[in-house]
A and B are shown apart, each in its own frame.
Chain A
């Protein structure tokens, strides 16, 4: 079916500003992705999954500018010993990055493999993204596959001694960045990937993740403190037997954030946890869109999202668990909750379950509410001032999502950042 005129015009306008990298082992994948974009068209407000989030500023040809936010907090994962890979406005910064050598892992820059004729990542680049287009189109991810010039391809063959830290610095107020990562965890291998920073004025990230049998990937992402930045991130993961994928995202500020996660559980006994905590006020708009497909038996999936909203902020959650008829003994859990610190904020939630197997346990819940006055009074009656009590209860509300992170040191760091956000807003 031909695209509606409006959509076609918008898509063409966007594409006219971009040039497709040519040659190399990814050329075919890029061409295919471009053709997907042309067929689907870029997202518009009438699209089912863009009802609650305006895509205009994410799709328009030229990115809206965003001031670079100056603050004195150290980069969030600085205190941890990591292999650092730094991007500035979406471009790899060799000077600021560590040497990409680490035992148990092979790391290449996307633009370096581009020139090679053959590379292991060729079998994954654009492949998982393409799989994730059905049944819900994600054209911004296909756009990324076609045009992203930088990123890293990581193959984990063992258990590296330290996490890999991808740092996304934002320096130019008009930057429009696309990064595309491919992460392959070999059988029995395990790694932690930490990501942090606002990345650019407008950021489009696409990560394709393939976890083989018994592999494990822990991802923790913090999206920086810049308020005016816009981000659309996409995560496509495929899980093998007894593999584990745990992902947590922290968002403080940001005028527009859309975090999409698309996960397929293809091997029996696999486990996926996708969690997020966000705090925002004013024109903050934060959207978590998650699609988890259970194909294999006895897999576990958890979605835990908590949003603290105030002063007109908007939170969106669209989460789906699809249980195929083959996925008996599925254990699916989904919770999305918003805490409104005043009457001006809104939370829009669309939890979905679609189940074709008959022996499964799936639960979903969504709530929005204010601070519990009874609990507040209880704390006050013990001498805790109202605003401290409010902060304590707000952190308690976020705790379920933050505790999805397995590493206590990282939990403490995240809680500290959330606490600072609350204190700054007293």
Chain B
């Protein structure tokens, strides 16, 4: 489903190479995890895939179901079925969470040539999904992420993911800033979306999250490359021995 080949990326304004040949394929219905030390390029990979500015692809390709992602605008990638759950969800004062969600859902429907969702249907759907994520009605009325706790922000990301129903979900350190209970709740939200067709790319520092979201494949990323790929046991190895052992082994 998601095909990344030999992806090289540098910062637009600086001569600094961040990704140095990433190869990765996520099949439909599978959960892949990327782990790696700070500064290895994990978040950059998620930003480049979702179309954030400030990066320059110098080589390689990335496609979703055969469609070249790199030539699309960020909103077109979203409409094509890609979703990024942000590590740091952005606060947008003045825009109500509900307005934001509805605008996003209907923008994607419009781009796909579908009729907008009626206000009543939308409300019903949001309420149902929000309830399962323990998001109360008050949070839907407030401006997007403004004054939300860390847990609320992450739950709000999962709510958007559920409402937009993407093909391919990238979760960028969704566990950061969460306590154990909040992490469980978020993981349950993600697991509820695992339907055998949807692909997931879970970026994390720690094995913890992977106890709750069981990956099929684990990749270790370091210095802009994927240096090792294995099963869930690889995550345990990292948890027990740190990255140093794996890095030394590869070198």
List the interface of chain A (C-beta within 8 A of B): 372-375, 377-386, 388-389, 392-393, 395-400
Contact = CB atoms under 8 A, between A and B. Distances in A.
Interface string B60-77: 000000000000011101
Secondary structure at the A interface, as helix, strand, loop or mixed, is: helix
Contacts of A392: 95, 99-100, 103
Contacts, number: 81
Contacts of B95: 392-393, 396
A383 B93 contact: no
B92 A378 contact: yes
B117 interface: no
21 contacts: A374-B90, A375-B92, A377-B51, A378-B86, A378-B92, A379-B92, A380-B74, A381-B77, A381-B83, A381-B84, A382-B75, A382-B100, A383-B79, A383-B104, A383-B107, A384-B75, A384-B107, A386-B74, A388-B103, A392-B103, A395-B94
Given A388-B103, A392-B95, A397-B94, A383 B111 contact: yes
Interface string B102-119: 011001100100000000
B185 interface: no
A375 B90 contact: yes
A380 B100 CA distance: 11
Nearest to A378: B90
Contact of B103 (A381, A384, A386): A384
Nearest to A400: B94
Given A385-B107, A388-B107, A380 B92 contact: no
B92 A383 contact: no
Contact of B51 (A373, A380, A385, A395): A380
B87 interface: no
A396 B93 CA distance: 7
Given A373-B53, A381-B50, A396-B95, A386 B75 contact: yes
B75 A383 contact: yes
Contacts of A393: 92, 94-95
B90 A383 contact: no
Contacts of B51: 377, 380-381
A279 B75 CA distance: 27
Interface of B: 50-53, 73-75, 77-79, 83-84, 86, 89-95, 99-100, 103-104, 107-108, 111, 143, 160, 164
Nearest to B50: A381
Contacts of B91: 375
Q: Which 10 A-B pairs have the closest CB atoms?
A: A396-B94, A383-B78, A380-B74, A382-B104, A383-B108, A378-B90, A399-B94, A380-B75, A396-B95, A384-B107
B137 to A, nearest CB: 19
Given A373-B53, A377-B53, A377-B74, A384 B94 contact: no
A397 B95 CA distance: 9
Contacts of A395: 94
A89 B107 CA distance: 44
B164 A383 contact: yes
Given A381-B77, A396-B92, 19 more contacts: A373-B53, A378-B86, A379-B92, A380-B73, A381-B75, A381-B86, A382-B78, A382-B108, A384-B104, A385-B75, A385-B111, A386-B74, A386-B75, A389-B75, A393-B94, A395-B94, A396-B143, A399-B94, A400-B94
Contacts of A374: 90
Contacts of B74: 377, 380-381, 386
Contacts of B79: 383
A392 B91 CA distance: 14
Contacts of B100: 379, 382, 392
Contacts of B84: 381
Contacts of A383: 75, 78-79, 104, 107-108, 111, 164
Residue picked from A377, A380, A381, A383, most chain B C-beta under 10 Å: A383
A373 B107 CA distance: 19
Contacts of A378: 86, 89-90, 92
Nearest to B52: A377
Contacts of A400: 94
Nearest to B166: A383
B36 to A, nearest CB: 22
A383 B84 CA distance: 11
Given A388-B103, A388-B107, A381 B78 contact: yes
Contacts of B111: 383, 385
